[in-house]
Each structure stands twice: as C-alpha cells, then as structure tokens.
C-alpha cells in the first residue's frame, strides 16, 4: 500500500473513532433526557438513534476536515526533517491553537534545534579536517629536517666531530620547534572549539606587563632590540584572565622583537580608549618590518605568515596571533593592528578597567 493511502486510511480510522464516540455519547444523553420527560422508551430510542447518526456524521465530516490538512502538515514536517530540508519547514503554518497545532509547533521547534546541531557538527567537522591538514603540513617540515640530519650523520658525518655537533644542534632546534608547535596546537584547538574558558578576575596590569617584559628582555637583547615600558599607574586594575592576558602580551611583544631590525625598538604602554571611558588600550609598538595593508586582516588567521621562510627560520608557526585573537574575543575585547611596511606596527588591545 502506498504511503499516501496508508496516511489517508489512518485519518479515516481516526475520524471514524471520533464519530462513533461522539455519536454514542450524544445518543445516550438524548435517551436519558427524553425518557425522563415521560416519553415511551421506543420513541426515546428512535430519537436517540437519529441524534446519534446526525452527530456521528457531523463530527466525522468536521473532524476529517480539521485534521486532514494538519496531519499532512505533520507528515511533511517529519519527512523534511528526515531529508534535512529545514528551510521548507519554515513555511508551514498552523491555525487552530489546539493540541494538534501544539504538536506541530513543537515539531517545527525541534526541527530548528536539529538543524542548528547539524550545522554545529558540520562546522566542527570542517574545522577538524582543515586543522588536521594544516597540522600535518606543519609537522612535516621539522620532522623531515630531523630525518635529514640523522641520515647525514648515519652516512658518515658522525665521524667528524665538528659536523656531528652542528647537526645534532640543528636536530635539537627542530625538536624544540615540534614541542612548541604541539603546545600551541593544543591551546588553539581548545580555544577554537570553545573548550578553554576564561577565568575572569580583577588583576593588576602593572605587575603582568613588567613581569612579561622582564622575561623577554634576554630575547630583545639577543636581537639587539630596545624593549621599553612607558611608565603608568601601578594601581590600574582590569577584569581579565591573568594567564591568558599574559599570553597575549608575550605573543605580541615576541613578534615585535622577532620581526624587528637590529637597533630597533619595542615600546609597551597604555593609553585611554577613544570610544569608551571604562576601557584602556594596551599597546605594543615596534619599529620593525611592518605588515602590508592587504596582509593585516590575515595575520590573525591560523598558520598565516607573511614570509613563511623567514618566520620558520625564526621559529614561527603562525599560531601566536591566532591565539591572541581568540583570547581577546573570549574577553569581549578588541585587537587593533596598524602597520606600515618598513616603518613598524602597533598592536593595541582594549581592556576593561575597574574604576578605582
């Protein structure tokens, strides 16, 4: 039997059942009333039988008309859900505000939940595919480099003390890159899937800035870059996740040092936010190579590097600013980048100040 015929038969059965019940109830009631008013039982029975037939017929016709269209709607909704055609469900309307309409409305609502969930899973799945592709690509470079060094050593270079030390050091540098890469990858995947939550509390900005700058001073010295902090009020408190803000600062200042020139400068400081009195901007300004206008929106993308070989050579994997962007967004704050090639860049992060 076709699906449509099965559906029509079901509606017909339902209508028949309603007709029998309403007919029987009205017949019994009519019989009681007429019999009470002293009519004979034969006459009462005849009138009741007529009332029963009329009620049953009316309720069958009305019930059938009322239900038929809506059962078809119900059927369409469930059919569309199973075929994942959610946009078609939007057009379906109900009109009586009764139990059947309630079920239809609920089913439409559930279909939206299913749709959102499918979209979320698709997004995660696409993210996962892209992420795995990116990772395997990034892992290949240091792994092949290590393989190359070991092969050369095994092929005889091991005998030469001068060469083997140099090669082992190079292999070690690549191992270190792999270690940093794994750490950053774990962090970014947690941030991107929303697994890592920010632990927001009141923190003193001064302490964090000074601590981070102190820790990076040796890197700046090594690169012959002048790293300075513009003095600011020690008592300024912000609402943020301490470790995450520290990470933001490390990543941005490290870039300022890394993409700078010998004798260059990195300045760290705060200034009032131009739009909001309850915020301040923490800025990191460098006199480095700068970023081309077209590349500015892309530097916060995962694995994006303006000059891949230069970044790799300096140990960069292109994850630092992607991590920064996610942390800043999770805080509901904004990262602003202004830059001019060969002149330098300014990375500015808005922060929520606590009124003192």
Ligand X SMILES: Nc1ncnc2c1ncn2[C@@H]1O[C@H](COP(=O)(O)OP(=O)(O)OP(=O)(O)O)[C@@H](O)[C@H]1O
- Binding region for ligand X (CB under 6 A): 184, 251, 255-256, 259, 286, 288-291, 299, 304-307, 311, 316-322, 345
Q: How far apart are CA 219 and CA 137, in angstroms?
A: 28
Nearest distance from C-beta of residue 186 to Mg ion, angstroms: 17
**CA atoms of 248 and 326, how far apart (whole Å):** 10
CB-nearer residue toward Mg ion: 85 or 308: 308
Considering the complex, state which of residue 241 and residue 254 has its C-beta at the smaller distance from ligand X: 254
Cβ-contact 260, 289 below 8 angstroms: yes
The dihedral through the CA atoms of 347, 349, 355, 356 has a sign that is negative
Choose between 322 and 327: whose C-beta lies nearer to ligand X: 322
Choice between 142 and 290, CB closer to ligand X: 290
Q: How near is the Cβ of 281 to ligand X at its closest, in Å?
A: 16
Task: State the nearest-atom distance from the C-beta of 228 to ligand X, in Å.
Answer: 16
Binding mask 264-303 for Mg ion (x = CB under 5 A): ----------------------------------------
Q: Is 57 helix (H, G, I), strand (E, B) or coil?
A: helix
Longest dimension (CA), the chain: 127
Separation CA 272–CA 278 (nearest Å): 9
Q: Looking at 161-169, 206-214, 313-321, 332-340, which segment touches Mg ion (CB under 5 A)?
A: 313-321
**Which residues, including other chains, have CB under 8 Å from residue 351's CB and lie 6 or more apart?**
205, 238, 240, 245, 279, 280, 281, 282, 331, 333
Binding region for Mg ion (CB under 5 A) out of 78-86, 121-129, 255-263, 285-293: 255-263
CB of 92 or CB of 252, closer to ligand X: 252
Q: Which is nearer to ligand X, 63 or 288 (CB)?
A: 288
How many CB atoms neighbour CB 341 within 10 A? 13
* Helix/strand/coil (H/E/C) assignment for every residue in 284-295: EEECCCCCCCCC
Rounded distance, CA 278 to CA 352, Å?
6
Exactly one of 255, 300, 348, 350 binds Mg ion (CB under 5 A); that residue is 255
Minimum distance from CB of 331 to ligand X (Å)? 18
CB 285 → ligand X: shortest distance, Å?
9
Return the residue of 320, 323, 324, 327 that touches Mg ion, per CB under 5 A. Answer: 320
Does residue 255 come out as left (phi exceeding 0), alpha (psi in the -120 to 50 range) or beta?
alpha
Shortest Cβ 324–ligand X spacing (Å): 7
Candidate ranges 262-270, 287-295, 314-322, 328-336; the one touching Mg ion (CB under 5 A): 314-322
Query: CA-CA distance, 20 to 52, in Å (whole number)?
Result: 9
| Closest C-alpha among 33, 34, 15, 25 to residue 52 | 25
* Closest approach of Mg ion to the CB of residue 320, in Å: 3
Our CB check for ligand X shows the closer of 205 and 291 to be 291
The contact set with Mg ion (CB under 5 A) reads 255, 320
């Amino acid at each position: 039997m076709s699906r449509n015929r099965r559906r029509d038969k079901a509606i017909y059965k339902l209508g028949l059942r309603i007709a029998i019940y309403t007919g029987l109830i009205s017949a019994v009631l009519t019989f009681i009333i007429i019999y009470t008013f002293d009519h004979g039982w034969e006459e009462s029975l005849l009138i009741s039988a007529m009332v029963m037939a009329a009620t049953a017929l009316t309720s069958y016709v009305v019930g059938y008309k009322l239900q038929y269209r809506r059962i078809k709607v119900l059927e369409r909704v469930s059919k569309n859900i199973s075929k994942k055609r959610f946009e078609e469900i939007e057009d379906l309307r109900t009109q009586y505000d009764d139990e059947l309409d309630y079920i239809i409305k609920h089913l439409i609502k559930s279909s939206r939940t299913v749709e959102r969930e499918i979209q979320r899973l698709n997004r995660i799945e696409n993210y996962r595919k892209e992420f795995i592709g990116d990772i395997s690509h990034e892992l290949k470079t240091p792994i092949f480099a290590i393989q190359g060094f070991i092969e050369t050593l095994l092929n005889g270079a091991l005998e030469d003390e001068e060469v083997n030390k140099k090669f082992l050091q190079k292999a070690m540098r690549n191992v270190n890159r792999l270690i940093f890469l794994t750490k950053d990858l774990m962090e970014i995947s947690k941030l991107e899937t929303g697994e890592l939550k920010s632990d927001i509390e009141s923190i003193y900005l001064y302490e964090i800035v000074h601590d981070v700058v102190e820790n990076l001073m040796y890197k700046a010295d090594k690169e012959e870059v002048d790293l300075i902090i513009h003095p600011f009020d020690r008592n300024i408190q912000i609402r943020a996740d301490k470790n995450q803000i520290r990470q933001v600062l490390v990543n941005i200042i490290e870039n300022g040092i890394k993409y700078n020139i010998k004798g260059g400068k990195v300045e760290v400081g705060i200034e009032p936010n131009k739009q909001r009195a309850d915020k301040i901007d923490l800025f990191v300004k460098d006199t480095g190579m700068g970023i081309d206008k077209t590349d500015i929106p892309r530097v916060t993308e995962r694995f994006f590097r303006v000059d891949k070989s230069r970044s790799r050579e300096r140990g960069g994997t292109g994850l630092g600013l992607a991590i920064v962007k996610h942390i800043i967004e999770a805080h509901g704050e904004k990262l602003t980048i202004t830059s001019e090639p060969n002149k330098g860049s300014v990375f500015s992060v808005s922060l929520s100040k606590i009124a003192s």
